[in-house]
Structure 1
Amino acid sequence: MDDQQMKSTDRQGKIELIATQRVGVNGELYKVVDFLNKNLKEHRLMFGLTKKEDKMVISVYEVE
């Protein structure tokens, strides 16, 4: 691994799943997840949203 690759790897943080919650489908839930990601970024939190069948799954991650 050269110096450039090493520096890039050092900057990449670890992402750890903290919690998930399944909820009913809501077309505006992505706005809440976007809001949380924008406002809690400095607290090293990241939120994800996926749709599985007739449910949506909200995931909370800690980013190092």
Structure 2
Amino acid sequence: MEDNKEEKLELIALKSFEEEAELYKVVDFLNKSLREKKLMFGIAKDDKEGFTLSIYEI
């Protein structure tokens, strides 16, 4: 039996914002800076014309 090691993302926090501005640049910076700490950040447009920032532990 093979030992398949799948990375599982665990959501740590979620925050919604009304405006994007340059939020994607912040997310990119955080991903590059905190990759070694096993953290991953994501941004998604929500239904209310705002954005949601997600933080995951890998």
Could you tell me which of 31, 35, 42 is aligned with 2:25?
31
The RMSD of aligned alpha carbons is 1.4
**TM-score (normalizing by structure 2):** 0.85
2:13 to 4, 19, 24: 19
Moved over 4 A (4+): none
Greater share of strand:
1
Q: Which has the higher helix share?
A: 1
Indicate the residue corresponding to 2:49 in structure 1.
54
Instruction: Using structure 1 for the length normalisation, give the TM-score.
Output: 0.78
Q: Unaligned stretches of 5+ in structure 2?
A: none
Structure 1: runs of 5+ lacking an equivalent: none
